[in-house]
Structure 1
Amino acid sequence: MTNASPQQRNGADVVVETLEQRGTTHVFGVPGAKIDRVFDRLVDSSIQTVVCRHEQNAAFIAGGIGRMTGKAGVAIATSGPGVSNLVTGLATAHSEGDPMVALGGSVAVADRLKLLHQSLDSVDVCRPVTKFAAEVDSPAATAEILSAAFRAAESGRPGSAFVGLPIDIMNGPAACSPIRLRSVIEQGAGPDVALAEAARLINDATNPVVLLGLMASKPRVAQAIRALLAKTVLPVVGTFQAAGALSEREFEAFGGRVGQIANQPADKLLESADVVITVGYDAVEYWPSIWNSGSERPIVHIDVVPAMIENDYNPSVEILGSIEANIERLSRLIVRKGLSVQSSGLLRHIAEDRTRLITEAAAQGGSPVHPLRIIAELQKVLTPDVTLCSDMGSFSLYLSRYLTSFRARQVLISNGQQTLGVALPWGIAACIVRPAEKVLSVSGDGGFLFSGMELETAVRLKLNLVHMVWIDGSYNMVAAQEELKYGRHSGTDLGPVNIVKYAEAFGATGFQVKGADDIAPVLRKAFETDGPVLIGVNVDYSKNAALFEMVYDGSLV
């Protein structure tokens, strides 16, 4: 702990002591002159400072910490471009519901309107992509603004917050003390009238379907959902972010994941619903204009925040407050005999299709490797003691749609901003939060170099992180969509990267998969190797146009 006396305490001491009182164990960032007093005070604290190679990645790591712990991760950067480099990470955390707080240096308060080196209206830059953004404008306000930032980031639907720290206030005498957290915000259940109306709609429905969203994968919410389904069997689909909300026990009622394009068997199950029960769902995950266009069927909205009303999403009833408490209360009121004939038939078809797909995927051979063969091999290693972090690209659609997870927050994916470069930083976060687990992050060769420099950070921290790069030499997700729209692709071709040499240049270990049958032994060897490991695998994306076709077709083979 820092131990500055009240007479000696400066603004930076208040910042660092506040972080300690909030339980912060790590901060991630890049230093600079306008924020160096905070970095200096961190040296004498209980907090580990992790220097990153880019501020954007520092924000990604902090967001990953927040997603896995529920407590805000912390990123720190200097003024000007240091702060502006945080913005993509702030926007990602804001869209994904990940609690994080970013601290940014700034010029002295008296100089904020002058054209000085690295002067920037950082609050106006960060406000559109955060739940809270403010600059400390007086020594007396330091603790108050920091406390407000953490409260905003962690409460309701979590997200990002930003605090600007002027250099003169950080260096000058403190006029306040850290504010100790005295209460925890706990929401209760919603009103009885809303719960009763929701139960009536569900009980009277022929084919009700549950749509799980990003908040459904929070561990306590997942437990409540599982308890509900143990009492009353309801067909379920989930967005990409809802991965792991269900256990193997409820899997027979699970139609699969939906998102991006309505071309999955799970979409047909969702389309069949005469009542949709959304749980912790955010429209950014899967637009209502795709899955509910023109429909007048009732929607039951269960969440911590009110629905954002739009043409295709206008709930009949909203149950707000603690999601887990509301699900538990609702389960007492739902009285149903079982699945309808239609729902049973669709779920049976989905199960048969899933079995066929697994069989066909396992039989895919050769090199470059078919994506589903890689999925089949990854499924074998995704045991309960593994965390998987996915970047964004064509491969992420395969992971999201076909990889099965039975543990809440076991699979991390960007489903709001669909941000390139998140996987490796999130992998670093997972190694820190879950040091006893195996961590596998996955990216394409396009997204990999958005954050590949943080491999040095992973080496420096001696993390046992395995990162797999799917190589095809292009921004394939963009190319596949362009091919469907224009009959050709543009601006998507990339040059080669030797993954093994790249890894070795940073002091990591590198492996190149030579063919489909090489995946399993390479993965096994990678997890047995100390320190960070990169795996390169050449992937066959020749059939990827099917990912974006608007058809109900359960097979991509």
Structure 2
Amino acid sequence: MLKRESDAETAWKCGADLVVRNLEAHGVQQVFGIPGAKVDRVFDSLVDSSIETVVVRHEANAAFMAAAVGRLTGKAGVALVTSGPGVSNLTTGLVTATSEGDAMVAIGGAVPLDDRLKQVHQTMDSVSLFKPITKFSAEVVTSTSISEVLSNAFRAAECPRPGAAFVSLPMDIVNAPATGDVLTNLPSPEFGPAAADSIRAAAELLKEARTPVLLLGMLASAPENAEAVRNFIEKTGVAAVGTFQAAGAVGVAQFGKFAGRVGLWNNQPGDRLLDQADVVVTIGYNPVEYEPPKWNKHVRRTLIHVDAVPADVDRYYRPEVELVGNIAKTLDLLASEAGALSCSPEANGILVTLATARPELANRSAALGGSPIHPLRIVRELQDVVGPDTTMCVDMGSFHIWIARYLYSFRARQLLITNGQQTMGVALPWAIAASLVRPGEKVISVSGDGSFMQSSMELETAVRLKANIVHVIWVDNMYNMVEIQEVQKYKRRSGVEFGPIDFKAYAQSFGAAGFAVESAEQLRSVLREAMAVEGPAVVAIPVDYSHNPALMAPLTAGRLV
């Protein structure tokens, strides 16, 4: 590195060195990726840096890992891949990150600038590919702009609503000598609370309401916002519901005011509470989490939008007041302005019924036996091993609904759930990233046998990193979430069945510990044995999904399922 601090513009041996120095300046701890000829110079530069290079087995998983870093830390994780299919394989990870509010920066190699309009090996207009699914997509065209492009990518990814950013690095830019300064000392902009007049207007609506209700969204579960949500509930006494991605926003002390999570189908106690509401305050909510037509189909209630960005308005989501700014600061001021709020007897009755139904369900679940195993028994046993120092990552499938509805979490960003794109295969990559970000914690990841096989190659990565994770597989030899919906619509299933795998042997072939549960009576002891393993462990559990129609059915009075 030919660096001289006195120069107006520092000289670098190659553009790759300047790229890596910028990553260090942005506090990047790990880079997830797969090298190739167009970008291997950056991987070479990483060897001489403070950044850990995590080589993965598929580029989509690199993106998932980077996004998990963003969700857990608030600072963008980084994926680094080569040109052509290396870049295109990122697509699912980037659209998932943007939909779910996860900060990440993806860096992709590209052919030399002189070749980008020619039909040569791995030519691709990657910038255009990613523009619709990221917050920022640009190509570096001169070495002097490396720092500028990267800085803007990180800024776009991290605020105000996080998401994915993409940077294309042509081969000649990273290989040739470069000049330029690292853009350091660029603090993120500090957002203040929403306008005072708007806060007063929202407070007046809340004071006049018979049954105000909070609808917590993905940004409500960010640690600083979760603390403000809890204080708001304590000061006002208002009841709350949450989307799946708001898990952990409500603490133990506020649980009596929490009517549970809502999403996918409108049939939960939280949906009943929303139905009673005459004013709904959405906090950090994105419509992709739970579409407004499902919970506001009659368009008869007043909406107050509290977020870092303006509302994405449609005919079912038309806020009376928008409180745009720092969510936590806005909530604190709104709570002071609104004071204690009312709760109708009908809404209070829902909360009282829940307080009785929850322990009853836990007792019933613990008594469910046999094989294959009822989903509620699996959730019950998972609940017992998810302690305050545990992180859980949940994939997409029928199990996702059982966990989202019936497994409780009281720590911000403790429970990671995919919901924006409902992406399969995220749990294991997320868990690997979580084990790096939270090295002192045990990480549990959960998938079905279908979603597991979409990223199971990363078991090798987990073993190599000695990741302290337990991956739990719900086994039924079927894409079951698709199957239950097909049967509901067409009275038969199609295209959902696949063959069995010996997951215990499969895990062991990677060097991980493998466990196979045969009955409900073994479940508790096997889970605890797996949790005691230092390093990756896989637990396969046969699940009885015959009860899944209950997930879509209306609830009977006083019951949770």
Q: 2:239 aligns with which of 235, 239, 256?
A: 235
The 3 A distance-change label for structure 1 pair 31 and 272 is same
**8 Å contact 1:445–1:473 — kept in the other structure?**
yes
Match of 1:75, as an amino acid?
A: A
Q: In 2, Cα distance between the equivalents of 1:208 and 1:82?
A: 49
Q: Tell me, which stretches of 5 or more residues in structure 1 are unaligned? A: none
Compared CA separation, residues 555 and 452, structure 1 to 2 (3 A): farther
| 8 A contact 1:369–1:516 mirrored in 2 | yes
- Alignment map for 1:296-307 (pairs within 5 Å): 296-307=300-311
CA distance in 2, matches of 1:555, 1:11: 62
CA offset at residue 550 of structure 1? 5.5
1:213 is matched with: 217
1:319 and 2:293 matched: no
1:34 maps onto 2:45 in alignment: no
CA offset at residue 554 of structure 1? 6.8
Matches within 5 A, 1:434-513: 434-513=438-517
Counterpart pick for 2:536 among 532, 535, 539: 532
Equivalent-residue separation in structure 2 for 1:554 and 1:349 (angstroms): 6
Aligned partner of residue 542 in structure 1, secondary structure: helix
CA positional deviation for 1:352: 2.1
Number of the residue aligned with 1:173: 177
Name the stretch that deviates more: 412-421 or 513-522: 513-522
Identity of aligned residues (%): 53
In structure 2, distance between residues paired with 1:440 and 1:355: 24
- 1:376 corresponds in structure 2 to 380
Task: State the distance in 1 between where 2:555 and 2:83 align.
Answer: 49
Q: Which amino acid aligns with 2:262?
A: V
Q: Mean alpha-carbon deviation: is it higher for 89-98 or for 356-365?
A: 356-365
Displacement, 1:343?
Answer: 1.5
CA RMSD of aligned residues (A): 1.3
Does residue 295 of the first structure (1) align with residue 299 of the second (2)? Answer: yes
Aligned residues: 556
Letter in 1 for 2:381: E
Listed as ranges, the matches of 1:270-285 within 5 Å are 270-285=274-289
| Equivalent residues of 2:353, 2:558 under 8 A apart | no
How far did 1:183 drift?
Answer: 2.1
Aligned to 1:355: 359
Q: In the alignment, which of 92, 108, 118 is matched to residue 114 of structure 1?
A: 118
1:388 is aligned to 392
Aligned pairs (5 A) from 1:193-208: 193-208=197-212
- How far residue 555 of structure 1 moved from its aligned partner, in angstroms, is 4.8
1:13 aligns with 2:36: no
- CA distance in structure 1 between the aligned counterparts of 2:235 and 2:15, rounded to whole angstroms: 54
Q: Does the 8 A contact of 1:546 with 1:556 survive in 2?
A: no
* Structure 2 residue 547 is matched with structure 1 residue 547: no
TM-score between both structures, scaled by the size of structure 2: 0.97
Using the TM superposition, give the Cα deviation of residue 382 of structure 1 relative to its aligned residue in structure 2, in angstroms: 1.2
Equivalence for 2:370: 366
Kept in 2, the 8 Å contact 1:368–1:539? The answer is yes
Matched residue, 1:150? 154
Q: C-alpha deviations, 1:520-557, integer Å up to 9, x for none?
A: 11111111112110000000001112222356677576
Q: Give the whole-Å Cα distance in 2 for the aligned partners of 1:484 and 1:3.
A: 66
Separation in 1, partners of 2:81, 2:501: 30
1:329 alignment partner in structure 2: 333
Q: Is the 8 A contact 1:66 1:100 kept in 2?
A: yes
Cα separation, partners in 2 of 1:7 and 1:301, compared to 1, 3 Å: closer
Question: Hey, what's the Cα distance between the residues in 2 that align with 1:169 and 1:554?
Answer: 65
Which whole-Å CA distance do the structure 2 matches of 1:549 and 1:239 have between them?
A: 19
In the other structure, the counterpart of 1:308 is 312
TM-score normalised to the size of structure 1? 0.98
CA contact (8 A) 1:134 1:164 kept: yes
Q: By how many angstroms is 1:232 displaced?
A: 1.4
Match of 1:241, SS state, is helix
Q: Distance in 1 between matches of 2:37 and 2:185?
A: 30
1:234-278, Cα deviation, whole Å (9 max, x unpaired):
110000001011111001000000001101111101111000000
Residues 392 and 420 of structure 1 are in contact (CA less than 8 Å); yes or no, is this contact kept in structure 2?
yes
CA distance in 2, matches of 1:535, 1:363: 21
Counterpart Cα distance in 1 of 2:556 and 2:131: 40
Check conservation: 1:392, 1:447, Cα contact below 8 A.
Answer: yes
* Amino acid of the structure 1 residue aligned with 2:334: L
The residue that corresponds to 1:102 in the other structure is: 106
